[in-house]
Amino acid sequence: MSIRMNNQDSVQIRPATLNDAPAIAQIYNSEIAGSTTTLDMVERTLDDQVAWISEHGGIYPAVVCELDGVVVGFGALSPFRNRPGYSGTVEDSVYVAAGTRRGGVGLAILNELIRLASSHGFHSILALIGGGGEPSIRLHLKAGFRQVGVLEQIGRKHGKWVDVTVMELLV
């Protein structure tokens, strides 16, 4: 999908490929090291990232956003839980490279994930946003999600307890 954002050249949202593994790992690893938006604590190796991309296909896709041929963000749909009763629900993930935030990349990725979730017949999308994720909360609100709860002090990272905000969109 090609779109135009903020009077910039067109950007491309497309399915992630194994060739995107280094760029995705770089974006994600910067969040692991420097934030509590993800509670992962071990940076992904290239092999880890290739395996992650390989697991995200079919009804649980991963997408990337390219700006001038450079991957500047990625997102994915993942199963929420493995019990059959949760099969109508997915969890989204959206990450944008630090230098391209607040330009519409995250919203373009999230809108594509919403479109894909709907086309695959899912009923609800959840976002679990770690502490310090206020920009991600605003992004999800802009896309139509509503906050349905906060899991207080559910995780620990960088020596402090972290809340996780739960957001939901019915599609």
pLDDT tens for 66-84 read: 998 999 999 999 999 999 9
Q: Tokens in use for 93?
A: 């993930």
**Per-residue pLDDT for 10 more than 90?**
no
3-state secondary structure of 53: helix
**Per-residue pLDDT for 156 more than 80?**
yes
Identify the residue whose tokens are 């009923």.
123
With contact defined as beta carbons under 8 Å apart, do 139 and 106 qualify? yes
pLDDT on residue 2 = 46
CB atoms under 10 Å from CB of 24, counted, come to: 23
With contact defined as beta carbons under 8 Å apart, do 5 and 11 qualify? yes
**Per-residue pLDDT for 6 more than 60?**
no
pTM of the predicted protein model? 0.91
If you average pLDDT over every residue of the chain, what do you get? 92
DSSP class of residue 8? P
What gap in Å lies between CA 7 and CA 88, rounded to an integer?
Answer: 37
Strands 160-170 and 124-130: antiparallel
Single out the residue of 29, 56, 31 nearest to residue 45, CA to CA.
29
Residue-wise pLDDT tens digits, 83-133: 999 999 999 999 999 888 877 899 999 999 999 999 999 999 999 999 878
What percent of the chain shows pLDDT beyond 70? 95
